[in-house]
Structure 1
């Protein structure tokens, strides 16, 4: 994404986050979907920091991932519980719960593949050193 677009996304996401904060204060209780404007801000901030401060960008991406999993899990769990009870539920939250499960599964698979490659590379290097 270009720098100009990232800056625009950061501004619009910040406005959305402020609106969600005011809304949550007015309702007295934050909803899981209120966190998604913050996800946009974290993603845009990570994109802007990627060239100059890659470690800070990586930290923002990690925080965004954790926030996504937590907010999506809460929204999905509520929707699925309502679905199984036969009560009213939101299809968007129901789908979000499924997407979060898939997101976590893909992340776990990538981590296991990375660890497997690292272990096999380590065994190969140990074999070369012993010869």
Structure 2
């Protein structure tokens, strides 16, 4: 993504976060969907920091991932509970719950693949040292 687009997304995400803060103050509570403006903000910030500060960018991406999983899990759990009770639910929240499960499955698969490659390299290095 170009720098100018990332800066625009950062501004839009910031405005969204401010709107959600005002909305949460008026309503007296936060809703899970209020976190998604912060996700946009964190993603754009990570994108802007990636070249100059890669560790900071990774930290922002990690915070965004945790926020996505938490907010999506809460929204999805509420919607699925309503679905199984037969009460009113939101299809978007149902889909969000499914997407969070898929996101976690892909992340777990990537972690297992990384650990497997690392163990394989370690075994290969140990063989070379023995010879």
1:73-99 deviation line (CA, Å, top 9, x unaligned) = 000000000000000000000000000
Structure 1 unaligned blocks of 5 or more: none
TM (norm. structure 1) is: 0.99
TM (norm. structure 2) is: 0.99
Within-5 A mapping of 1:91-130: 91-130=91-130
Residues matched between the structures, number: 131
Q: Distance in 2 between matches of 1:59 and 1:129?
A: 36
Structure 2 unaligned blocks of 5 or more: none
1:24, distance to aligned residue in structure 2 (A): 0.8
Within-5 A mapping of 1:82-93: 82-93=82-93
1:115, distance to aligned residue in structure 2 (A): 0.1
Q: Distance in 1 between matches of 2:25 and 2:70?
A: 20
2:1 counterpart of 1:10? no
After superposition, the CA RMSD in angstroms is 0.3
Q: Distance in 2 between matches of 1:34 and 1:104?
A: 21
Aligned-partner SS, 2:126: helix
1:60, distance to aligned residue in structure 2 (A): 0.1
Q: Distance in 1 between matches of 2:25 and 2:45?
A: 25
Runs (4 or more) in structure 1 with deviation over 2 Å come to none
Partner residue in 1 for 2:58: 58
